[in-house]
């Protein structure tokens, strides 16, 4: 099967979109590093423009440190931290925000260039514009998330806001990856045999739900408890699964319930993946993409178990989040084949 060659405009847009995919993937991983090192609350103000520069003098550093000393996280978790230690966590959060600024500029400037020169793919301007809007909104969500950890005696950000922030990041990543694949690959006009589109949509929805569920695990530090597998400290369902009232709060605030649900979703996704793979076995192209997804899924599940058994070791937890990026992109690629073919 052959596909027509892409013209120069296609290639320039394709390269730009690929660059954006890499930046957003890096942003997700850097965000995980910032969270795992408890660096996210080190900058206590939102200054989109002036905050682009780090403190440039000893007095400026001391001023930032004094602001950090006023929040609950310092008082409860880091009362013995000195200025040198503060500079380390400040660096991670500043780098995270700086990369966010770069992503905004790296997307907006080429977008308007291609728009005004009428180089964007016909009929897809709204899709490109929507991604830009999401990137802008994501910046505001990031501060909304950080602000939740600065008040009410909290020492961490709200797990609800963390899940929102991560979920939107993966939506942006998926949208950019889809648009990039549209530029990198053309499709034949002839119709293909029936594909399991509904099953693919179900699987994609479950994978995204699992990513969000992982954010709740991270936000509650639930990976640092029940560090046994396959049982949870000897029980299949952890004791106290439904202790909170009303019941729905357990799904988002009960450490045992949140970790249990994350485990169960992994098993469900494995089963649905097998179901989809069987349905796709006669479609050579989709079967190949689903094979890649299945391998990455198996790796992610095994890695998740290892992270749990090691007590949520920092580098393993970061690798788990990094692997989720590739898993999500492979899912987007597979569902795109089912949608396009």
> For residues 49 and 191, which has the higher predicted lDDT (pLDDT)?
49
Mean pLDDT over residues 77-88, rounded?
94
User: Which residues have a Cβ under 8 Å from the Cβ of 56 and sit 6 or more positions away?
Assistant: none
Whole-number pLDDT of residue 1: 37
pTM of the model: 0.93
pLDDT band at residue 5 under the 50/70/90 scheme: very low
Helix (H), strand (E), coil (C) string for the chain: CCCCCCCHHHHHHHHHHHHHHHHHHHHHHHHHHHHHCCCCCCCCCCCCCHHHCCCCCHHHHHHHHHHHHCCHHHHHHCCCCCHHHHHHHHHHHHHHHHHHHHHHHHHHHHHHHHHHCCCCCCCCHHHHHHHHHHHHHHHHHHHHHHHCCCCCCCCCCCHHHHHHHHHHHHHHHHHHHHHHHHHHCCCCCCCCCCCCHHHHHHHHHHHHHHHHHHHHHHHCCHHHCCCCCCCECCECCCCCCCCCCCHHHHHHHCHHHHHHHHHHHHHHHHHHHHHHHHHCCCCHHHHHHHHHHHHHHHHHHHHHHHHHHCCCCHHHHHHHHHHHHHHHHHHHHHHHHHHHC
- Per-residue pLDDT, 186: 63
Rg value, the chain, Cα: 22
| Percentage of residues in the chain having pLDDT higher than 70 | 94
Q: Are 146 and 63 in contact (CB under 8 A)?
A: no
pLDDT of residue 193: 57
pLDDT value of position 154: 84
- Sequence-ordered list of residues with C-beta below 8 angstroms from that of 66, at least 6 positions apart, any chain: none
Residue 281: pLDDT band (50, 70, 90) is confident
Centroid of chain to Cα 141 = 13
The mean pLDDT value for 315-340 works out to: 92
């Amino acid at each position: 099967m052959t596909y027509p060659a892409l013209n120069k405009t296609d290639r320039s847009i394709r390269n730009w979109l690929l660059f954006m995919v890499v930046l957003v993937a890096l942003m997700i991983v850097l965000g995980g590093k910032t969270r795992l090192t408890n660096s996210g609350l080190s900058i206590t103000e939102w200054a989109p423009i002036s905050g682009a520069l780090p403190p440039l003098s000893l007095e400026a550093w001391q001023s930032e440190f004094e602001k950090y000393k006023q929040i609950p996280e310092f008082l409860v978790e880091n009362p013995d931290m000195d200025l040198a230690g503060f500079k380390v966590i400040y660096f991670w959060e500043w780098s995270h925000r700086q990369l966010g600024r770069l992503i905004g500029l790296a997307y907006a400037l080429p977008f308007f260039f291609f728009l005004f020169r009428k180089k964007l793919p016909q009929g897809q301007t709204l899709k490109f514009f929507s991604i830009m809007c999401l990137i802008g909104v994501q910046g505001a969500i990031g501060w909304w998330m950080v602000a939740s950890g600065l008040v009410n005696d909290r020492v961490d950000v709200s797990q609800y806001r963390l899940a929102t922030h991560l979920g939107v990041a993966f939506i942006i990543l998926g949208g950019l990856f889809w648009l990039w694949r549209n530029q990198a690959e053309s499709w034949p006009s002839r119709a293909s045999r029936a594909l399991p589109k509904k099953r693919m949509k179900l699987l994609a929805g479950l994978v995204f739900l699992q990513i969000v569920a992982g954010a709740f695990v991270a936000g509650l530090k639930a990976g640092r408890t029940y560090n046994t597998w396959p049982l949870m400290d000897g029980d299949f369902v952890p004791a106290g699964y439904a202790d909170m009232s009303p019941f729905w709060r357990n799904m988002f605030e009960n450490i045992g319930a949140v970790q249990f649900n994350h485990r169960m979703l992994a098993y469900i996704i494995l089963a649905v993946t097998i179901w989809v793979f069987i349905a796709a076995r006669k479609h050579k192209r989709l079967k190949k993409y689903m094979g890649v997804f299945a391998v990455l899924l198996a790796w992610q599940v095994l890695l998740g178990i290892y992270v749990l058994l090691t007590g949520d070791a920092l580098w393993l937890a970061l690798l788990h989040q990094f692997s989720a990026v590739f898993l999500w992109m492979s899912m987007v690629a597979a569902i795109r084949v089912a949608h396009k073919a």
